[in-house]
Amino acid sequence: MEKILTLDIKNLRLNFKGYEGIARVLDGVYIQGHKGERVGLVGETGCGKTVAMKSILGLIKSPPAIYETGEIWVNGKDILKISKKELMKLKGNEISMIFQDPLNSLNPVFTIGQQLFDIIRYGHKVKLTKREIREKARNILKLVRLPDPERILKNYPMQLSGGMRQRVLIAMALVNEPELLIADEPGTALDVTIQDQILELLKDLVLQKNICVLIITHNLGVIRGLANKVYIMYAGQVVEQGDTRDVFDNPQHPYTLGLMRSIPKLTGDIIGEGIPGTIPDYVNAPTGCRFHPRCKHKKDVCSEKRPVLKEIAPGHFVSCFLYEE
Amino acid sequence: MEKRLLSIKNLVKSFPIRGGLMRRVTGTIKAVEDISFDVFENEIFGLVGESGSGKSTIAKVITGMYRPTKGEVFYKGKEIKDLTKKDLNFLRREIQMVFQDPRSSLNPRRSVLSSLEDPLIIHKIGKSQYERRKIIGDLLEKVEMPRSYMYKYPSALSGGQRQRVALARALAVNPTLFLLDEPTSALDVAVQTKIINLLQKLREEMTLSYIFITHDLCLIRTIADRVAVMYLGKIFEMGSAVEMFRNPIHPYTKTLLSAVPVVSKEEEELKPKWEGKEGEPPSPVNPPPGCPFHPRCGIAEEGCSEKIPPITEVKKGYWVRCHLFPKKPENEKRKKGRKESLN
């Protein structure tokens, strides 16, 4: 069976012009997501994952941003090339988004129903009658396992709990049957038990609808539970990529290793030393591999040129000179 | 026998709900209820629970920010309520708190030096400015920061460094008990690791005790000696961390543990089978009757919705609040009522 490529980011280099100079934020990022795949993008604060996500949605204004190279293909269209009008059509229909904070992404002065109806009305090419819209809204709320959809449509966001709001957001994102769903830190604002329920629901729905999801988070545990493919990002570069199981059971890049050792475990194993140093400044980013100033296995070559991506096991790629012999 | 540092007995803290025309008291929220625990010297005591379970209320009662509605808090054998003003000053030196967000707990318009100098001046440590600077320099070195950083402002520091400054400020007055309210949840994992390692080192060097409040179960497992799991203002399970994570007893603890996102296969195997039901924690204004967990509990029986179960000692030093445990010795359960409390 041939896989359909839904999301394809190629060699994205994104710079921001500021007072101090040019900040090279994304340095050759690539991400691929096929239909039915759950792709995870992980990294620490400030590694560029949010910038990458925003550029998929065309939310980064240029200027100040400068796209040096790169293409972002969603469903056969290059986001960076198409007109604003086409992009508007794409958003909400083919691409949709679940934001991190369920409280701030719903409008507090409109009922859930009003907000949901709008999304359905504008997302459809054919004009729907009021009854059809209502029917659709009710069905989608049922799908995200919200009890009593009729009541929820009449409620204001403040009347719902955090978990319910997150469910409403998932419903809003899925109601127009998108091809690509972007989830930014899904459930991290919620308690563990609720987070677990939300992630389970998201996984079910994605499998059921057979769409591509891009999950952006700093929580490795969430990625392991939800994604089947993972990209590890450090300072605007993808350092490791592969099947979730391969990457988690057998991490190869020194950064991934350091990250995995830093996470407190349920087994109570003593956590490692952490990774020395901090994320670099993007204006004077380190040359070559951006991780080399913090790396234990640093060689001379690391600061001279960028390591190429190397396939160390089928489908498991690492960008590090340790594996380039 | 280990020395008892802090002991809390049958603590209740409730807040009035005001409403109506004259802002009359229309009801009360019991933020925490029937809380009893001890903290021993040089121990890390973990408090875990979901949001709204009352973890921070306990911390605020211990530091004296809230007065307990009922119950007693003893520090080194003395009840906090009975302390004289002079003693209270001493208590405030002994118990220090570190907050979650280092960005908002440091004043952005004051340098590290001036933030750290305040506690020294208030508690009359160091006679001259010169001496105080020397102490501050030593403090910064203790939290593994260069001395020269005392002239910096919080905006020039990273999140991890700010949290180190917050730690240094708490250390300035030589405390014995630290209350850490989610000290690392605003930080990245790699930074968190360094702070945790620092906390471990400080505990050994200075014989500190920590009360560690967090919602991160993996973190608690890694650093705490004993853990109390809270739900809707009550302790549901309390005992050694090693035992609890290997063999959790209360269905709520099991629900929590089974929901933790983990990163390896070994951890996956440690997770207990889910015994809960889908649902959300109820509001503390209208807690369900009986055991507050019963609507979400997978093994709830009829009696669970009638009476709040007492907390009972199932093993030595291991306490559970559930009608179904311990199952067998029925009369023994009655003998050891909750009145007898922890000993």
DSSP string, A98-138: E-S-TTTTS-TTS-HHHHHHHHHHHH-SS---HHHHHHHHH
Residue, of B32 and B186, whose pLDDT is higher: B32
At A65 the three-state DSSP class reads strand
- Residues in contact with B107: Cβ distance below 8 Å, sequence separation at least 6, in sequence order: B115, B154
Confidence of residue B306 (pLDDT cuts 50, 70, 90): confident
B chain contacts of residue A199, beta-carbon cutoff 8 Å: 261
What's the gap in Å between the CA of A259 and the closest CA on chain B? 6
Cβ contact (<8 Å) for A262 and B257?
A: no
B chain contacts of residue A264, beta-carbon cutoff 8 Å: 192, 196, 216, 218-219, 221-223
Query: Which phi-psi region, left, alpha or beta, contains residue A242 (left: φ > 0; alpha: ψ -120 to 50)?
Result: left
Closest to B254 measured CA to CA, from B270, B230, B235, B272? B272
How much is the mean pLDDT over chain A? 85
Report d(CA A138, CA A196) in Å as an integer: 24
Cβ contact (<8 Å) for A199 and B261?
A: yes
CB neighbour burial string for A72-88, b if at least 16 within 10 angstroms, e if fewer: bbbbeeebbeeeeeebe
Rounded to a whole number of angstroms, the distance between the first and last alpha carbons of chain A is 35
Closest to B44 measured CA to CA, from B251, B209, B154, B169? B209
pLDDT of residue B327: 62
Please report the residues numbered 41 through 60 in chain B whose beta carbons come closer than 8 angstroms to any beta carbon of chain A.
50-51
pLDDT of residue B227: 94
Cβ contact (<8 Å) for B276 and A219?
A: no
pTM of the entire predicted model: 0.85
Report d(CA A125, CA A80) in Å as an integer: 24
Cβ-Cβ pairs closer than 8 A, A with B, add up to 124
Residue B6 near residue B39 (C-beta atoms within 8 A): yes
B chain contacts of residue A266, beta-carbon cutoff 8 Å: 217-218, 221, 245, 257, 260, 262, 267, 270-271
Q: Over the stretch A176-189, which tens digit does the pLDDT of each residue have? A: 888 889 998 887 77
Confidence of residue B239 (pLDDT cuts 50, 70, 90): very high
Average pLDDT over residues A252-275: 83
pLDDT > 70 in chain B, percent: 94
Q: Over the stretch A266-309, which tens digit does the pLDDT of each residue have? A: 887 777 777 887 788 888 888 888 888 888 888 888 888 888 88
Residue, of A154 and A59, whose pLDDT is higher: A154
What's the gap in Å between the CA of B58 and the closest CA on chain A? 19
pLDDT > 70 in chain A, percent: 99
Average pLDDT over residues A211-231: 89
Cis peptide before A307 (omega within 30 of 0): no
Cβ contact (<8 Å) for A271 and B196?
A: yes
Report d(CA B253, CA B276) in Å as an integer: 10
Report d(CA B110, CA B162) in Å as an integer: 13
How far is residue B298 CA from its own chain's centroid?
Answer: 28
Of B50, B158, B245, the CB nearest to A193: B50
A280 φ/ψ angles, rounded to the nearest 5 degrees? -70, 165
pLDDT of residue B342: 44
pLDDT of residue A267: 82
Q: Over the stretch B93-143, which tens digit does the pLDDT of each residue have? A: 889 988 888 788 889 999 999 999 999 998 888 889 999 999 999 999 999
B chain contacts of residue A192, beta-carbon cutoff 8 Å: 50, 215, 217, 256, 259-261
Report d(CA B207, CA A211) in Å as an integer: 55
Cβ contact (<8 Å) for B190 and A259?
A: yes
According to DSSP, the β-strands at B24-40 and B4-19 are antiparallel
Cβ contact (<8 Å) for A192 and B270?
A: no
Asked if ipTM goes beyond 0.85, one says: no
What's the angle, vertex CA B249, arms to CA B243 and CA B250, rounded to 5?
A: 130
